[in-house]
A = this chain, B = another copy of it.
Amino acid sequence: MIRELRHQKIIEVVTQKQGITVQELTSLLKVSAMTIHRDLRLLEEKGILQRVRGGVVIGRPDETKEEICGYCGKALPARTRVMLFGGSGQAVPACCVHCGMGLLRHERELSAGLTVDFLYETVIDLERGYYLYEPQIKVCCVPSVLAFADRGDAERMQMGFGGKLLNYEELKNCFIGK
Protein backbone atom coordinates (compact mmCIF):
# COMPACT_ATOMS: atom_id res chain seq x y z
CA MET A 1 0.00 0.00 0.00
CA ILE A 2 1.18 3.46 -0.86
CA ARG A 3 2.13 5.50 2.14
CA GLU A 4 -0.06 8.40 1.15
CA LEU A 5 -3.08 6.17 0.96
CA ARG A 6 -2.23 4.76 4.35
CA HIS A 7 -2.09 8.30 5.68
CA GLN A 8 -5.45 9.06 4.17
CA LYS A 9 -6.85 5.97 5.78
CA ILE A 10 -5.44 6.99 9.14
CA ILE A 11 -6.91 10.45 8.90
CA GLU A 12 -10.21 8.97 7.87
CA VAL A 13 -10.47 6.50 10.71
CA VAL A 14 -9.18 8.95 13.31
CA THR A 15 -11.72 11.54 12.26
CA GLN A 16 -14.47 8.98 12.25
CA LYS A 17 -13.68 7.48 15.61
CA GLN A 18 -12.34 10.61 17.25
CA GLY A 19 -9.12 8.78 17.95
CA ILE A 20 -7.49 5.36 17.73
CA THR A 21 -4.64 3.37 19.24
CA VAL A 22 -1.39 2.49 17.51
CA GLN A 23 -2.19 -1.20 17.98
CA GLU A 24 -5.50 -0.91 16.23
CA LEU A 25 -3.83 0.88 13.38
CA THR A 26 -1.18 -1.80 12.97
CA SER A 27 -3.78 -4.52 12.61
CA LEU A 28 -5.96 -2.37 10.43
CA LEU A 29 -3.18 -1.42 8.05
CA LYS A 30 -0.97 -4.51 8.34
CA VAL A 31 2.23 -2.67 9.02
CA SER A 32 4.53 -2.62 12.01
CA ALA A 33 4.03 -0.35 14.97
CA MET A 34 7.17 1.51 14.05
CA THR A 35 5.72 2.44 10.70
CA ILE A 36 2.57 3.68 12.38
CA HIS A 37 4.63 5.75 14.77
CA ARG A 38 6.48 7.27 11.86
CA ASP A 39 3.26 7.96 10.01
CA LEU A 40 1.72 9.61 13.00
CA ARG A 41 4.73 11.77 13.55
CA LEU A 42 4.55 13.01 9.99
CA LEU A 43 0.86 13.69 10.22
CA GLU A 44 1.32 15.49 13.48
CA GLU A 45 4.05 17.66 12.02
CA LYS A 46 1.59 18.71 9.38
CA GLY A 47 -0.83 19.66 12.12
CA ILE A 48 -3.39 17.15 10.98
CA LEU A 49 -3.48 14.95 14.05
CA GLN A 50 -2.46 15.11 17.63
CA ARG A 51 -0.36 12.27 18.93
CA VAL A 52 -1.00 11.07 22.45
CA ARG A 53 0.57 8.18 24.29
CA GLY A 54 -0.85 5.01 22.84
CA GLY A 55 -2.48 6.54 19.80
CA VAL A 56 -3.82 9.68 18.19
CA VAL A 57 -6.72 12.04 18.46
CA ILE A 58 -7.96 14.60 16.00
CA GLY A 59 -5.78 17.66 16.07
CA ARG A 60 -7.51 20.91 16.69
CA PRO A 61 -5.34 23.25 14.69
CA ASP A 62 -6.56 26.47 16.28
CA GLU A 63 -5.82 25.17 19.72
CA THR A 64 -2.14 24.84 19.00
CA LYS A 65 -1.22 28.11 20.63
CA GLU A 66 -3.80 27.72 23.35
CA GLU A 67 -4.14 31.40 23.84
CA ILE A 68 -6.14 32.43 26.82
CA CYS A 69 -7.66 35.63 28.09
CA GLY A 70 -5.10 37.70 29.94
CA TYR A 71 -7.74 38.73 32.45
CA CYS A 72 -10.01 35.81 33.22
CA GLY A 73 -8.01 32.92 31.70
CA LYS A 74 -10.79 31.61 29.47
CA ALA A 75 -10.32 30.58 25.87
CA LEU A 76 -10.75 33.28 23.27
CA PRO A 77 -14.04 33.19 21.40
CA ALA A 78 -13.66 34.30 17.79
CA ARG A 79 -16.63 36.65 18.03
CA THR A 80 -15.78 38.69 21.06
CA ARG A 81 -12.05 38.56 21.44
CA VAL A 82 -9.98 41.63 22.10
CA MET A 83 -6.33 42.17 21.45
CA LEU A 84 -4.45 44.88 23.29
CA PHE A 85 -1.03 46.04 22.17
CA GLY A 86 1.03 47.50 24.95
CA GLY A 87 3.40 50.42 24.64
CA SER A 88 6.38 48.16 23.95
CA GLY A 89 4.48 46.20 21.32
CA GLN A 90 3.57 43.12 23.32
CA ALA A 91 0.13 41.72 22.58
CA VAL A 92 -2.27 40.69 25.32
CA PRO A 93 -5.47 38.95 24.32
CA ALA A 94 -8.78 39.06 26.15
CA CYS A 95 -11.87 36.98 25.68
CA CYS A 96 -14.26 39.92 25.38
CA VAL A 97 -14.56 43.65 25.81
CA HIS A 98 -15.34 43.21 29.48
CA CYS A 99 -12.00 41.58 30.14
CA GLY A 100 -10.23 43.89 27.74
CA MET A 101 -11.36 46.79 29.82
CA GLY A 102 -10.32 44.99 32.95
CA LEU A 103 -6.81 44.65 31.56
CA LEU A 104 -6.78 48.26 30.57
CA ARG A 105 -7.27 49.25 34.15
CA HIS A 106 -3.75 47.97 34.85
CA GLU A 107 -2.01 48.51 31.59
CA ARG A 108 -2.67 52.12 30.95
CA GLU A 109 -0.19 52.54 28.16
CA LEU A 110 -1.86 51.21 25.07
CA SER A 111 -0.48 51.61 21.58
CA ALA A 112 -3.46 49.96 19.92
CA GLY A 113 -6.45 47.76 20.60
CA LEU A 114 -8.57 45.57 18.37
CA THR A 115 -11.79 43.71 18.77
CA VAL A 116 -14.31 41.94 16.59
CA ASP A 117 -17.73 42.96 15.35
CA PHE A 118 -20.29 40.76 17.06
CA LEU A 119 -22.40 40.38 13.93
CA TYR A 120 -19.88 40.13 11.14
CA GLU A 121 -16.71 39.12 12.96
CA THR A 122 -14.75 41.77 11.16
CA VAL A 123 -11.87 43.21 13.11
CA ILE A 124 -12.35 46.76 14.35
CA ASP A 125 -10.27 49.30 16.10
CA LEU A 126 -11.31 49.55 19.73
CA GLU A 127 -11.42 53.33 19.54
CA ARG A 128 -13.68 53.32 16.53
CA GLY A 129 -16.20 50.78 17.76
CA TYR A 130 -19.66 51.14 19.19
CA TYR A 131 -20.57 49.16 22.24
CA LEU A 132 -23.71 47.81 23.79
CA TYR A 133 -23.25 47.71 27.52
CA GLU A 134 -25.31 45.15 29.43
CA PRO A 135 -27.66 43.96 26.71
CA GLN A 136 -29.92 40.98 27.31
CA ILE A 137 -27.37 38.58 25.86
CA LYS A 138 -24.56 37.10 27.83
CA VAL A 139 -22.15 35.50 25.41
CA CYS A 140 -19.03 35.88 27.50
CA CYS A 141 -18.34 37.73 30.72
CA VAL A 142 -20.65 39.88 32.83
CA PRO A 143 -21.19 42.81 32.74
CA SER A 144 -21.63 41.94 29.10
CA VAL A 145 -20.49 44.19 26.26
CA LEU A 146 -21.02 43.66 22.55
CA ALA A 147 -18.91 45.43 19.95
CA PHE A 148 -19.99 46.75 16.57
CA ALA A 149 -18.23 48.49 13.76
CA ASP A 150 -21.40 50.22 12.67
CA ARG A 151 -23.49 52.46 14.88
CA GLY A 152 -26.64 51.43 13.03
CA ASP A 153 -26.05 47.77 13.84
CA ALA A 154 -25.51 48.62 17.48
CA GLU A 155 -28.76 50.58 17.51
CA ARG A 156 -30.64 47.74 15.87
CA MET A 157 -29.32 45.29 18.43
CA GLN A 158 -30.31 47.72 21.14
CA MET A 159 -33.89 47.75 19.89
CA GLY A 160 -34.23 44.08 20.59
CA PHE A 161 -31.81 43.44 23.40
CA GLY A 162 -31.61 46.76 25.21
CA GLY A 163 -28.43 47.93 26.90
CA LYS A 164 -26.61 51.24 26.79
CA LEU A 165 -25.05 52.31 23.50
CA LEU A 166 -21.58 53.71 24.08
CA ASN A 167 -18.60 54.87 22.11
CA TYR A 168 -15.10 53.98 23.23
CA GLU A 169 -14.60 56.93 25.54
CA GLU A 170 -17.89 56.28 27.26
CA LEU A 171 -17.08 52.62 27.53
CA LYS A 172 -13.78 53.39 29.20
CA ASN A 173 -15.42 55.68 31.69
CA CYS A 174 -17.93 52.99 32.40
CA PHE A 175 -15.28 50.49 33.35
CA ILE A 176 -12.39 52.52 34.54
CA GLY A 177 -13.94 55.71 35.76
CA LYS A 178 -12.54 59.12 35.13
User: Does A43 reach chain B (CB closer than 8 Å)?
Assistant: yes
> Smallest CB-CB separation from A53: which chain B residue?
B3
A77 to B52, CA, bound (A): 29
Chain B residues in 8 Å Cβ range of A1 = 21
> Smallest CB-CB separation from A56: which chain B residue?
B2
A127 to B11, CA, bound (A): 32
User: Does A26 reach chain B (CB closer than 8 Å)?
Assistant: no
Q: Tell me the chain A residues, 115-153 only, with Cβ under 8 Å from chain B.
A: 119-121, 136-137, 139, 153
Produce 1/0 per residue, A143-178, CB < 8 A to B: 000000000010111111100000000000000000
What would 12 A/B residue contacts be, using CB atoms closer than 8 Å?
Answer: A2-B21, A2-B52, A3-B53, A4-B52, A5-B18, A5-B57, A8-B62, A79-B79, A120-B139, A137-B153, A158-B160, A160-B161
Q: Is the CB of A4 within 8 A of B62?
A: yes
The answer to whether A139 and B160 touch (CB under 8 A), given A4-B19, A7-B61, A43-B62, is no
User: Does A72 reach chain B (CB closer than 8 Å)?
Assistant: no
Chain B residues in 8 Å Cβ range of A43 = 62
CB distance from A2 to the nearest CB of B (A): 4
Q: Is the CB of A62 within 8 A of B160?
A: no
User: Does A31 reach chain B (CB closer than 8 Å)?
Assistant: no
CB distance from A10 to the nearest CB of B (A): 9
